[in-house]
Structure 1
Amino acid sequence: MKAVIIDGYVDEPAILGVPPYVSPYIRYAAGALYYHGIDVDYFTIDQIRENQMWQSFNHYEYLIIIAGVTVPGHYLGGTPISLTEINKLFSLNKEPLRVLGGPIVKGYTLTGGRSAIKIESEYIDYMVEGDVERFLFTYPISDNFNLKDRSNYELISKITPLGAEILKKHPRFPDIIVEMDVSRGCERTNGFCSFCTEPLINGKYRERPIKDLLEEAKAISDIGVKNFRFGRAADFLAYGSLLNNGEPNIPLFNELYQEMSKIANIIHTDNANPAYIIKHQDKIKKILEIIVKYNTAGDILSFGIESFDKNVIEKNRIDIMPDEAIEAIRIVNEIGNKRDKNGIPKLLPGINLLFGLIDETKETFEINKKYLEKIMDENLLVRRINVRQVMAFPGTLLYNTKPKQHKKDFIKFKEYMEKYNHEMLKKVFPIGSILENLIIEKNQGKISFGRQLGTYPIKVGVIGEFNILDKINGVVIDHGSRSITALKLPFDINKATLEELTSINGIGKKTAENIILKRPIDDLNKLNLNGKTLDLLSTISRGCFYG
């Protein structure tokens, strides 16, 4: 028997599965099928679009689409599947058993500020509201299945070492990053946020045994993928707390990071609850020290702060007050803002801000600005501030409330964030910082855009035209609001193009033309440049961090 999995991509509060990320859903579904001796093929939705493969799957016994966006973002590596495309695939391939899984079964929308719509299609044989791997594990051998059943970690431990094999079929293999499932559900015991889908999708909080997690990581590393992010968790720092009476589990983190450092090139994190940091400051600081000792620079702990407006916080059952959130940002900066040899901070906080929440007013936007300015004034570093409109899903408090939207104020706030992000990026990635192993993903004129593998990697515009998926090193020379500009390393003044030279601050077209005419150049001091420009050019030429 043969099955095909189509990756329509997922983006949830605790999972990212848009290239170069591969979600656990894909590996688990494949592992469940492999367990029963079923051959599995794998394609991304972008491969299907590019190669016009819409009716290529009638010779399979199973056609499985996994998809769903509950926290929409801006994607460079791929575009999530649309409802039209799902119907097109299922309607044109009627022979296999057609299965839809992932968060999309809770509702569909690709943009914020809207309520999700319920999926209904005559072309779907089974829409799995529970865990798709549980269905795929049971269906081939039994009629006793329930579409709402969830997996336990005992099942996950059986199938994950097998599922690693599917990664070889990813179009970007081995330059992908896998989300590692460490826990499911939310560890909060005082209720859930008004908008959150995590308890709806994953139920009661539970943790994966560290032995099983490390076994899967080793299987993934053995097939050639060495890049990991601890995702699939509402609060990564609470991992292991069920084994420690709700307290942070320092020995577990020490074991986890020591073992992962033996098999991984990239070790990154995702979500952390700032309220948990405040409640357990001393123990959390020790865990942060462990993370910073073993992780890869550019790491982020993403904070679901959502709003600095106390009234909005209370009405939406958010777990952290404004001053506590600022203190959590200070704590992570205290331990994590040290830089590696390339000038990149080891571990910084990120902030999620949501708009369209219950009891939001025009004043909410000004309150958020006030606290963001406080962060800037204290010279605290924040790697990523994700500002978006909330999506309301059935089953959440927000879905039934339908609060007033302030769209004009939201647009103005986004304009404010353009300037704010520009200034913050200059602090996080100062000119002269080096970004290694940038993977080119898009060409636009004479600029090639790429990113490193990692958690929320910064978009980098490298001056020059490079092939898609080329891997290069770059040195930072300028900043935008969402991206930074870099020159390819090594940089040779005697080979640099006019475009590369004029991209350096302080070198105009005339100066660049004079440099080209004076080649070969054996001494930069002979170029009659001002001191700051000469220092920058010297640093770029040396290829070392310029602070």
Structure 2
Amino acid sequence: MKALIVDGYVDEPALLGVPPYVSTYPRYIAGAFLHAGIEVEYLTIDQIREESRWLEPSEYDYMVIIAGLSVSGHYMGGTPITLTELKKLVQTNPYPRKFLIGPIGLGYSLKGGTTALSTQLEEIEFLPSNNLRLLWERINGRTFEGGEYEFIDLVAPAGAEILKKHPRFPNVICELELSRGCERRDGFCSFCTEPLIWGRFTSRPLEGLIREVKALSNVGVKAFRFGRSANIFAYGEKNGKPDPLIFEELFSEVSRFQPEVLHCDNANPAYMYKHRKAVEKMLETIVRYNTPGDVLSFGVESFDPEVRRLNNIQGDPEEILEAVRMVNAAGASRVYGIPRLLPGINILGGLYGESEKTYDINYRWLKRISDEGLLLRRINIRQVMIFSSTTLYRLNAGKYRSRKYLSAFKRFKERVRSEIDLPMMKKVFPTGAVLRSVHREKKQGDITYGRQLGSYPVLVGVPEWKEEDGNIVDVIIANHGPRSVTGIVKGRSLNRAGYKEIIAVEGIGKKRAEKLIISRPFRNWEEVERIVEDTETLENLRKIFSLEG
């Protein structure tokens, strides 16, 4: 018998599965089939689109489709499956027994600022994300005698083999599961789908996780993120309190496999503030074992105290600020000019009770963080997705009610990008810093865009990234935008660099670039200085280029 896994990609509050990220779903599902002696094939929705393989599922006995976004995002590495494409796969392939899994079970939406549509399809059986034992029952005809994590620990190592079939393998980053659900005991945020998808908070036993990491490492995976966790500091908590010892064991055990990338994702700033002493020890653990460019993502959503109260968002702005300080104190040391660990902040538009005043409050707090000299890796500003199972849906009586503040949202976003993001990017990624192992993503005009494997990697535009340079290069930062940077392939000589590479450097305009080119070759930097006549620009050039050749 044969099974096909169609990865339509997922994006959840605590799980990402859009390339280069690979979620836990395909690995667990593959492991379940393999344990049943069923051959498994894996296709992404992008492969099906690009190669027109819509009828291929008819050749299989089983088809499992992974799909759904319950948070909004922008994706470069892949395009999530649409509802039309899902229906096409289901309705044009009547033969295989069909299953659907992921947040699409809550509803369908591809962008923020919308209320999700119902996705009930009679031709396909929905599998709850938090009960994959049901798939075992369907394919084996018997129940699994054990709990969900016993099942996951059984199938996950076997499912690691499916990574070899990923079109980007080995250049992928695997999400690792630490826990399910939210650790809060005072209710949940009005908009959040995490408790709806995953149920009550549970930490995964360390032994099974390490066996999975070993299996993934053995097949050639070198990049990992502790992404399947709503709050990394709650992992292994005892009686509601964090456990720095199990946290240390987690990182030390995973680091034994010598990953090229080891990053984190979500953290709860209110939890960090409440358990400050323990969390400070845990931050020390992270920076002892992680790789540079790591991010702890804070679901702030709003700094407006009234909006936070109405939407049951834990903590207050002063606690958030203190959590930002904690991460900066632990993680701002640099490797190749890049901070080892920084916080990121998520802001949501469209929450219940917001007003134009909300966006003024949000701006003032972000400006306070910036003015204090604290670093943020990113400020993610987006509109909420509303699902019918959430409290926000009931508060709004089933409608998206914040369009009257959309103009205020847009003004706020533009102001943050120009007044906060751009100066912050220059501080986080200074000219001359090196981004190691940047992967080619796409080319637009004369610029090739790439990213590192990691947690929220910065997008870098690279002029004159040649085919002979390869698909993975080290890049030196040369210039900045509010959300991206410009870089030059490491190892370039000013005496041989192209015009577009030279003009990309901050401080070099058209006239200077042309004058530098016609004055080559340079024997020393004093000759270059006579051309640029600017000490700061000269230093930028020296950080980026050599004078070899």
TM-score (structure 2 length as normaliser): 0.95
Structure 2 letter corresponding to 1:535 = E
CA contact (8 A) 2:181 2:194 kept: yes
Pairing partner for 1:310 from 305, 312, 317:
305
Structure 2 letter corresponding to 1:233 = S
From the superposition, tell whether residues 96 and 466 of structure 1 become closer, same or farther in structure 2 (CA, over 3 Å).
Answer: farther
Which segments of structure 1 move beyond 6 Å, counting only runs of 4 or more?
none
Q: Does 1:537 align with 2:531?
A: no
Question: Any idea what the Cα deviations from partners look like across 1:163-191, whole Å, max 9, x if unmatched?
Answer: 10000000110110000000001100011
Give me the whole-angstrom Cα distance separating, in 2, the residues matched to 1:469 and 1:53: 30
The equivalent of 1:452 in structure 2 is 452
CA contact (8 A) 1:300 1:349 kept: yes
Count residues with an aligned counterpart. 536
Q: Secondary structure of the residue that 1:120 maps to in structure 2?
A: coil
1:58-137 matches, within 5 Å, as 58-122=58-122, 124-131=123-130, 133-137=132-136
Pairing partner for 1:268 from 245, 263, 282:
263
Deviation at 1:466, TM superposition (A): 4.3
Q: Secondary structure of the residue that 1:417 maps to in structure 2?
A: helix
Q: Secondary structure of the residue that 2:298 maps to in structure 1?
A: strand
Q: Does 1:169 align with 2:165?
A: yes
CA contact (8 A) 1:69 1:108 kept: yes
Question: Any idea what the Cα deviations from partners look like across 1:192-243, whole Å, max 9, x if unmatched?
Answer: 11111111111111010011111101110111001100011111111010xx
Give me the whole-angstrom Cα distance separating, in 2, the residues matched to 1:167 and 1:3: 15
Give me the whole-angstrom Cα distance separating, in 2, the residues matched to 1:469 and 1:59: 37
Deviation at 1:511, TM superposition (A): 2.8
Deviation at 1:59, TM superposition (A): 1.0
1:17-416 matches, within 5 Å, as 17-122=17-122, 124-131=123-130, 133-142=132-141, 152-241=148-237, 244-263=238-257, 264-340=259-335, 342-402=336-396, 404-405=401-402, 406-416=405-415
The equivalent of 1:518 in structure 2 is 519
Aligned-pair identity in percent equals: 49
Question: Any idea what the Cα deviations from partners look like across 1:38-67, whole Å, max 9, x if unmatched?
Answer: 111101111111111111221100111101
From the superposition, tell whether residues 144 and 249 of structure 1 become closer, same or farther in structure 2 (CA, over 3 Å).
Answer: closer
Give me the whole-angstrom Cα distance separating, in 1, the residues matched to 2:535 and 2:169: 45
CA contact (8 A) 1:278 1:327 kept: yes
Q: Secondary structure of the residue that 2:346 maps to in structure 1?
A: strand
From the superposition, tell whether residues 86 and 150 of structure 1 become closer, same or farther in structure 2 (CA, over 3 Å).
Answer: farther
Give me the whole-angstrom Cα distance separating, in 1, the residues matched to 2:338 and 2:318: 27
- Greater shift after overlay, 195-204 or 125-134? 125-134
Give me the whole-angstrom Cα distance separating, in 2, the residues matched to 1:466 and 1:45: 29
Q: Secondary structure of the residue that 1:139 maps to in structure 2?
A: helix
Give me the whole-angstrom Cα distance separating, in 2, the residues matched to 1:53 and 1:39: 19
Structure 2 letter corresponding to 1:531 = T
Give me the whole-angstrom Cα distance separating, in 2, the residues matched to 1:90 and 1:26: 18
Question: Any idea what the Cα deviations from partners look like across 1:236-272, whole Å, max 9, x if unmatched?
Answer: 111010xx32222111121111122221111100000
CA contact (8 A) 2:263 2:295 kept: yes
Unaligned stretches of 5+ in structure 2?
none
TM-score (structure 1 length as normaliser): 0.95
CA contact (8 A) 1:437 1:452 kept: yes
What's the RMSD between the two structures over aligned residues? 1.8
CA contact (8 A) 1:476 1:485 kept: yes
Structure 2 letter corresponding to 1:411 = K
Q: Does 1:506 align with 2:507?
A: yes
Deviation at 1:283, TM superposition (A): 1.0
Q: Secondary structure of the residue that 2:117 maps to in structure 1?
A: coil
Q: Secondary structure of the residue that 2:32 maps to in structure 1?
A: helix
- Greater shift after overlay, 452-461 or 95-104? 95-104
Give me the whole-angstrom Cα distance separating, in 1, the residues matched to 2:232 and 2:129: 23
Q: Secondary structure of the residue that 2:339 maps to in structure 1?
A: coil
Give me the whole-angstrom Cα distance separating, in 1, the residues matched to 2:88 and 2:385: 25
Give me the whole-angstrom Cα distance separating, in 2, the residues matched to 1:41 and 1:198: 29
CA contact (8 A) 2:130 2:148 kept: no
Q: Secondary structure of the residue that 1:432 maps to in structure 2?
A: coil
Structure 2 letter corresponding to 1:41 = E
Structure 2 letter corresponding to 1:261 = S
Give me the whole-angstrom Cα distance separating, in 2, the residues matched to 1:422 and 1:374: 15
CA contact (8 A) 2:417 2:482 kept: yes
- Greater shift after overlay, 503-512 or 302-311? 503-512
Give me the whole-angstrom Cα distance separating, in 2, the residues matched to 1:370 and 1:151: 47
The equivalent of 2:15 in structure 1 is 15
Deviation at 1:2, TM superposition (A): 0.5
CA contact (8 A) 1:446 1:465 kept: no
Structure 1 letter corresponding to 2:424 = M
Unaligned stretches of 5+ in structure 1?
none
Give me the whole-angstrom Cα distance separating, in 2, the residues matched to 1:319 and 1:281: 16
CA contact (8 A) 1:525 1:534 kept: no
Deviation at 1:281, TM superposition (A): 0.6
Structure 2 letter corresponding to 1:259 = E
Give me the whole-angstrom Cα distance separating, in 1, the residues matched to 2:279 and 2:508: 47
CA contact (8 A) 1:288 1:335 kept: yes
Deviation at 1:153, TM superposition (A): 0.5
From the superposition, tell whether residues 465 and 226 of structure 1 become closer, same or farther in structure 2 (CA, over 3 Å).
Answer: closer
Give me the whole-angstrom Cα distance separating, in 1, the residues matched to 2:361 and 2:92: 51
1:468-507 matches, within 5 Å, as 470-507=471-508
CA contact (8 A) 1:6 1:66 kept: yes
Deviation at 1:135, TM superposition (A): 2.7
Give me the whole-angstrom Cα distance separating, in 2, the residues matched to 1:484 and 1:358: 35
Deviation at 1:150, TM superposition (A): 11
From the superposition, tell whether residues 353 and 74 of structure 1 become closer, same or farther in structure 2 (CA, over 3 Å).
Answer: same
Q: Secondary structure of the residue that 1:506 maps to in structure 2?
A: coil
